[in-house]
Amino acid sequence: MAVKKCVTAVIFLAATTAGAAWAEEPIKPITPPKEINQAKAELGKKLFFDPRLSKSGFISCNSCHNLSIGGSDNLKTSIGHNWQKGPINAPTVLNSSLSFVQFWDGRADSLKAQAGGPIANPGEMALTHALAEGILTSIPGYVTEFKQVFGDNKIDIDRVTDAIAEFEKTLVTPNSRFDKWLLGDVKAVTEQELAGYKLFKDFGCISCHYGESVGGGTFHKMGMVEEYKAKSPAEGRKAVTGKDEDRFMFKVPNLRNVELTYPYFHDGEAETLTEAVDVMGRLQLGKKLSDTENAQIVAFLKSLTGDQPAFTLPMLPPSSDKTPQPKPFEE
Ligand code: HEC
Ligand code: HEC
């Protein structure tokens, strides 16, 4: 009851202070996840950090989605098994539960469907699902924990991805300064940041980047007004639908914590936020932003950085004598 009263008070406050009624704003504050199965999420956290889910025994989900640096790897494209050059920039896993589909081209419709991909991708973790199941089944600590979470000790890829997805649901970042402003704290952002938000709306950035995660809700073409000249062969949604008109259609990235997730765009070609904002203005809106406008929008984007996931590093159960050995230097 006390909690409910408090929420009502915050909304009342927001509605009565200068322009900060979030109900009327196209960007919504992030709400912490509801209905998390804690035991399952704890197991998922271990799996997320476990390099034994890769052929080399060296690469975990956290290698490319490093939770200490914003859930990405800060590389143009990722490094996979045997130092392979990845084809595309790694998006952050932060707030990915808020996106309508997963991957730049939307080829996975849920986090659970997504999580099986990298384990078996020869260019990423390079295992097979059968081998991943075999490795985990050989580790007594996992057998016990799967039994606690799922009721029996079967370990299969379905349960592995289910647990990882449950953990990923906890990786949301509420309490950014911008969200505090949305909730009525008028002093939470600076004048420059507020001016940037106004431009973000007035110029039309908001038509693609909106909602709780400031993106992640639609596919849009990269290069609406001016053509995007890419060196990378990635074609976006066309790879899924086969249709020519879907060439360069990408999931609009979510802009939460974007100050941490450089470099930018699907090919990682924009090194700085200033550059990414400049390209967006020209290619999506046909507008060359002035240095002041650009700096204001960048300042606004930086106010979207929220509370980063904070937890004790998971301790992983040790391998047994039966655990298949990693093969770090085999193709
Ligand atoms: C070798 C680096 C690498 C590893 C390891 C890796 N990923 Fe990724 N991840 C990527 C890249 C690159 C993409 C983008 C691929 C694409 O869109 O085609 C991606 C995309 C994703 C996405 C979609 C995010 C979005 O906004 O669309 C999620 C979620 C994700 N990975 C979770 C995981 C999980 C869970 C694991 C471990 C099971 C994992 N990744 C392992 C590099 C990696
Ligand atoms: C028509 C839809 C649309 C509009 C309008 C738009 N964007 Fe984007 N934005 C996208 C898409 C699609 C991408 C991904 C493009 C790619 O990676 O090739 C993107 C990517 C970005 C990125 C890089 C994010 C990342 O993680 O790589 C930033 C920053 C960004 N937009 C900011 C803006 C700003 C600022 C404006 C207004 C000046 C704007 N966008 C207008 C669709 C749009």
What is the tens place of the pLDDT at every residue in 138-172? 999 999 999 999 999 899 999 999 999 999 999 99
Q: Provide the token pair at 311.
A: 């937890």
Average pLDDT over residues 232-238: 95
Tell me phi and psi for residue 221, to 5 degrees: -75, 135
Is 228 within 8 Å of 283 (Cβ atoms)? yes
pLDDT at 34: 86
Dist. CA 136–CA 155, nearest whole Å: 7
Kindly write down the DSSP assignment for every residue of 52-101, as one continuous string: GGSTTS---HHHHSBTTTTSB--SSS-EEGGGEEPSSPPPP-TTGGGSSS
Helices (H), the chain: 2-16, 38-49, 61-64, 111-120, 129-137, 140-150, 157-169, 177-182, 191-203, 238-241, 273-285, 291-302
Q: Is the CB of 281 under 6 A from ligand 2?
A: yes
Taking 50 as the threshold, does the pLDDT of residue 8 lie above it?
no
pLDDT at 110: 97
Q: Quick one: which ligand is closest to 45's CA?
A: 1
pLDDT at 3: 42
Question: What percent of the residues of the chain are helix, what percent strand, and what percent coil, each to the nearest 5?
Answer: 40, 5, 55
Q: Quick one: which ligand is closest to 77's CA?
A: 1
pLDDT in tens, 263-274: 999 999 999 999
pLDDT at 23: 75
Can 12-31+175-302 and 38-169 be said to share one CATH topology? yes
Fold of 38-169: Cytochrome Bc1 Complex; Chain D, domain 2 (1.10.760)
Q: Provide the token pair at 100.
A: 């309508």
Average pLDDT over residues 175-184: 96
Q: Provide the token pair at 175.
A: 């309490």
pLDDT at 205: 98
Dist. CA 160–CA 32, nearest whole Å: 24
Q: Over the chain, what is the mean pLDDT?
A: 93
Mutate to test the pocket of ligand 2, among 104, 209, 278 (most ligand atoms within 8 A of CB): 209
Average pLDDT over residues 97-123: 97
Q: Would you say 209 is a known binding-site residue?
A: yes
The percent of residues in the chain predicted with pLDDT above 90, rounded, is 91
Taking 70 as the threshold, does the pLDDT of residue 50 lie above it?
yes
Ligand 1 centroid – CA 102 distance (Å): 9
Whose CA is closest to atom 14 on ligand 1?
90
Residue with tokens 């909690």: 3
The pLDDT-based confidence of 21 (bands split at 50, 70, 90) is: low
Average pLDDT over residues 276-281: 98
- Domain positions in the chain are 12-31+175-302, 38-169
Q: Which of 20-29, 91-100, 170-179, 238-247 has the lowest mean pLDDT?
A: 20-29
Fold of 12-31+175-302: Cytochrome Bc1 Complex; Chain D, domain 2 (1.10.760)
Max distance between CA atoms of the chain, in angstroms, equals 65
Q: Please measure the distance between the N-terminal and C-terminal CA atoms of the chain and give it in whole angstroms.
A: 59
Taking 90 as the threshold, does the pLDDT of residue 248 lie above it?
yes
Ligand 1 centroid – CA 1 distance (Å): 40
Q: 25, 35, 42, 124: which one is catalytic?
A: 124
Average pLDDT over residues 24-49: 96
Q: Provide the token pair at 327.
A: 């093969």
Residue 191 is a catalytic residue:
no
Ligand 1 centroid – CA 106 distance (Å): 12
* Other beta carbons less than 10 A from residue 172's beta carbon: 21
Q: Provide the token pair at 236.
A: 């976006």
